[in-house]
Chain A
Amino acid sequence: MSTFVLLTITGLGLGALYFLIASGLSLIYGLMGVLNFAHGAFITFGAYAAWWITSQVETSSELELLVATAFGLAVGAALGMLVELVFIRPLYRRPVEQVLVTVGLALALGALVYGIWGPDPKLFPDRPGEVVALPSWMIDTTTIAGANIPNDRFVEIAVAAVVLVGLTAFLRFTRIGLIIRAGVENRAMVTALGIDVRKAFTFVFAVGVALAALAGVLSGVYFGTVDPARGTSLLIFAFIVVVIGGFGSIGGSAVAAVAVGLVQQYANYYAADWLDWSGAGDVAVMLLLASVLLLRPEGLSPKVAH
């Protein structure tokens, strides 16, 4: 039982990361029709930007994490806005080229991070001379139903929950949220009504990339390190979440992210034990995707931003 609880909460923590990545991807695709392949590079870049700022300041571990999160979000939003204006906007009528440009950006930005910070993972946040850089209360465990759960899992779940509630409220109660929801439903109609939907594009892209950067920072908390390959590996699971959850749906992304995180953790433990093979968790997620596609090709929810 205690193992099951531990797996469940760890799975939820992983699902929280997937949700942060997938919600941005899903909104960007739902509104703009752009599959953002550079999202993985943005995750990595955000994580390294956050790591860099912690190497510049020297204060308590908690404060460094807060500074890192704020800085990561700001860098992500600025980068997203820049990329949208310079690379995506000129190609609005050429959807395939938009994907190709994000592929080129993914390769170039990924290689740049690799070139600047090197191939080895770095302890996060940067605290020279310390074996464990995260605040000690995050490493400590809380006992729930006999399971000792590292406290950082609750941080990831809480951040994702706040983002989920915030995004949903934002989409429902603000004017720009209304435009985004309408744009996901029918972009041509919104444009025909005289609303400049391009502003919403830039906005959504910036928010999506900021969330990717936030996921990068939180992955630093989850794994205790930042790693140049992390973005790409997280992105693939986020893609699966988006397909299962349905494009443009925040709620669908949340449900699918939880499902993917849990399946991965359970299979990693139970099936890996039984098959004596450590890849079982990842492959179980691919099987989940295949079965969802066979049963419901359109994903769990229809294409509506809610």
Chain B
Amino acid sequence: MRVKPLVIPVVLLAILAVVPLLSLDIPRVLPGALDSPGTLQLLALCLVFAGVALSYDLLFGFTGLLSFGHALYFALGVYLPAIALTEWGWSLPAALALLAVSAIAVPLVLGAVSLRVTGIAFAMVTLAFAQAGNVIVQTNPGGLTGGDEGIILDYDRIPDALVGIVNTKNLYWLALAYAALVFVIARAAIGSSAGHVWSAIRENERRVEVLGLRPYPYKLLSFVLASFLAAWGGFIWLLLIGVTPEVTTATFTLTLLVMVVLGGAGTRFGALVGGFFYTLLDYRLRNLAGEERIQELPDVLRIPLSEPLFLLGALFVAVVFFVPGGLASLPRRIRSLGARRRARAEESAA
């Protein structure tokens, strides 16, 4: 049983890695065959969000910090390389070096300020900082961010292998590598001694203080690591989708929270699963909204069914109420349900 924790992710990684080579068709779930660019782009997006959701779970699920500003660091990964490449004409390595430095420096400064308060006040402060980012992007200072229009990326500065529809499979592999890397780093961090302090902080911060540890630097570490990982997800989104101001909104952070809770916060695979399936579901619901059989329904049914965010919000409320552990708790729930039923059967047989 000792090897089991490694077996599942490795097998999963192997299966996901060969996806672009298969021309399997999964109707009703995916837009086309597995190796078609449309499907690969969607799956790549699912993988990016699996990784970003896990980075958010480091904060929310594993350290117990409810942040409403995670979108800011994702947006940093989208905007900063785009600005460096397109507006300043930097080379890709230089732009990525800048992102690496900023993705540590920015959360270090903002985290240091916001972690001076705890609990709900922390949530509100992170929200305010993220909103400042949103304002900066929307108001387009010095013509840098492009406001509502975003930035048209200068693709000459991106390697050819990552540009164009025929190369979508390379982007898919990049997204897969990102999700896998986030998983490995997150596992290592959670298993480290700092990770143990994080879970102690989540359970009872006062007790950590009584034990003689200062929670502050540990929380800051968690904040910086999670933000750093999210920023790289932003960069892959930039390659996949491009620049849109939508990634800086508060709603975007809330969807990350929804992903994590749907999947199961603070569990091994919960956030990954949640991010993946939320993205897939969002896509399917968007398509459903456009279908004729929905458009023909009376208003009372048509309006809610054509708003994916309404359905996802309602699903989220239902999960919080009825499946508190999220998708990750389902196997355990089914098992305990089976065990209970067996026990009852034995009772009635006896």
Residues 287-317 of chain B, each 1 if its beta carbon lies under 8 Å from chain A, else 0: 0000000000000000110111110111011
Residues of B within 8 A of A96 (CB): 66
Q: Give bound CA distance, A25 to B309, whole Å.
A: 24
Contact of B132 among A115, A286, A297, A299 (CB under 8 A): A286
Closest Cβ of chain B to A245, distance in Å, is 12
B257 and A283 contact, CB distance less than 8 A: no
Report if B141 contacts A (CB, 8 A).
Answer: yes
Query: In the bound complex, do residue A105 and residue B317 qualify as a contact, i.e. CB atoms below 8 Å apart?
Result: yes
CA distance A106 to B304 in the complex (A): 14
In contact, B123 and A293 (Cβ under 8 angstroms): no
Q: Is the CB of A111 within 8 A of B310?
A: yes
Known: A107-B258, A240-B124, A243-B121. Contact between A286 and B129, CB under 8 A? Answer: yes
A286 touches B131 (CB 8 A): yes
**B125 and A289 within 8 A (CB):** yes
Known: A100-B320, A107-B313, A279-B135. Contact between A236 and B141, CB under 8 A?
A: no
Bound complex: CA A213 to CA B313 (Å): 21
Q: How far is the CA of A114 from the CA of B165 in the complex (A)?
A: 33
Closest-CB distance, B313 to chain A (whole angstroms): 3
Chain A's nearest CB lies how many Å from the CB of B82? 19
- Name B's interface SS: helix
CB B134 to nearest CB in A, in angstroms, measures 9
**Which A residue's beta carbon lies closest to that of B112?**
A294
The reply to whether the CB of B92 lies closer than 8 angstroms to some CB of chain A is no
Identify which of residues 215-265 in chain A touch chain B, using a CB-to-CB cut-off of 8 Å: 232, 236, 239-240, 242-243, 247
Q: State in angstroms the CA–CA spacing of A107 and B253 once bound together.
A: 12
A279 and B314 contact, CB distance less than 8 A: no
CB of B320 within 8 A of CB of A104, answer yes
What separation, in Å, do the CA atoms of A94 and B303 have in the docked complex?
32
Residues of A91-119 at the interface with B, using a CB-CB cut-off of 8 Å, are 91, 94, 96-97, 99-101, 103-112, 114-116
Query: A90: which B residues are within 8 A, CB to CB?
Result: 321
Residues of B within 8 A of A37 (CB): 254
In chain B, positions 109-144 with a C-beta closer than 8 Å to chain A are 113-114, 116-117, 120-121, 123-125, 127-129, 131-132, 135-136, 138-139, 141-142
Given contacts A99-B66, A111-B310, A112-B303, contact A278 B131 (CB under 8 A): no
A97 and B322 CA atoms in complex are apart in Å by 11
Report Cα–Cα, A8/B251, bound state, in Å: 32
A158 cross-chain contacts in B, Cβ below 8 A: none
Contacting pair B113 A294 (CB below 8 A): yes
In the complex, are the beta carbons of A279 and B138 less than 8 A apart? Answer: yes
By CB atoms of chain B within 10 A, which of A29, A111, A112, A114 has the most?
Answer: A111
Report if A137 contacts B (CB, 8 A): no
Contact B320–A108 (Cβ < 8 Å) = no
A109 — which chain B residues lie within 8 A by C-beta? 313
Report whether A112 and B310 are in contact in the complex, using a CB–CB cutoff of 8 Å: yes
A residues within 8 A CB of B308?
111
Given A108-B310, A236-B127, A286-B131, decide whether A279 and B136 contact each other with a Cβ distance below 8 A.
Answer: yes
A285: chain B residues at CB < 8 Å are 128
Are B128 and A286 in contact, CB atoms less than 8 angstroms apart? Answer: yes
Do B320 and A111 touch across chains, with their CB atoms under 8 A apart?
A: no
Q: Select which of A112, A115, A279 is within 8 A of B141 by beta carbon.
A: A279
Which residues does chain A contribute within 8 Å of B255, judged by CB atoms?
A: 107
Say if the beta carbon of A73 comes within 8 Å of chain B.
no
Contact with B along A75-92 (1 / 0, CB 8 A): 000000000000100110
Binary contact track A268-299/B, C-beta < 8 Å → 1, others 0: 00000001011100110110011001100101
For residue A16, CB closer than 8 A to chain B, the reply is no
For residue A35, CB closer than 8 A to chain B, the reply is yes
Closest to B114 in A: A293
User: Chain A at the B interface: mostly helix, strand, loop or mixed?
Assistant: helix
Q: How far is the CA of A279 from the CA of B116 in the complex (A)?
A: 26
In angstroms, Cα B118 to Cα A247, docked, is 13
Chain A residues within 8 Å of B307, by CB = 111-112, 114-115
- Report yes or no: B316 in contact with A107, Cβ–Cβ below 8 A: yes
> Complex formed: what's the CA distance from A21 to B153 in Å?
40
Chain A residue with minimal CB distance to B305? A115
What is the minimal beta-carbon distance from A232 to any residue of chain B, in angstroms?
6
- In the complex, how many angstroms separate the beta carbon of B294 from the nearest chain A beta carbon? 12
The residue in B124, B258, B314, B321 that gathers the most chain A C-beta atoms within 10 A of its C-beta is: B124
Tell me the smallest distance from the CB of B15 to a CB of chain A, in Å: 32
Closest to B64 in A: A96
Q: Give the distance to chain B from A259, nearest Cβ to Cβ, in Å.
A: 14
Q: Is the CB of B117 within 8 A of A100?
A: no
B317/A293 in contact, CB under 8 A: no
- Given the interface pairs A100-B257, A283-B132, A293-B113, the reply to whether A278 lies near B139 with Cβ below 8 Å is yes
A112 / chain B contacts, CB cutoff of 8 Å: 303-304, 307, 310
Closest Cβ neighbor of B254 among chain A residues: A103
Q: Is the CB of A232 within 8 A of B250?
A: yes
For A94, the chain B residues whose CB sits under 8 A away are 324
Task: Give bound CA distance, A36 to B84, whole Å.
Answer: 39
Min CB distance, A305 to chain B, in Å?
Answer: 17
Decide: B127 and A239 in contact? CB cutoff 8 A.
Answer: yes
In the complex, what residues of B have CB within 8 A of residue A104's CB?
A: 258, 313-314, 316-317, 320
- B296 → chain A closest CB, angstroms: 16
9 cross-chain pairs, A with B, having the tightest CB-CB distances, nearest first: A108-B313, A107-B313, A279-B139, A111-B309, A104-B317, A111-B310, A104-B316, A111-B307, A286-B132
Pick 19 A–B contacts, CB within 8 A, sort by A: A103-B254, A104-B316, A107-B258, A107-B310, A107-B313, A108-B310, A109-B313, A115-B303, A232-B251, A236-B131, A239-B127, A282-B131, A285-B128, A286-B128, A286-B132, A289-B128, A293-B114, A297-B121, A299-B121
If A90-B321, A107-B309 are given as contacts, then 14 extra A-B residue pairs at C-beta distance below 8 Å, sorted by A number, are: A29-B120, A99-B66, A103-B257, A104-B316, A107-B310, A108-B316, A112-B310, A232-B251, A239-B124, A243-B128, A277-B141, A279-B139, A282-B132, A297-B116
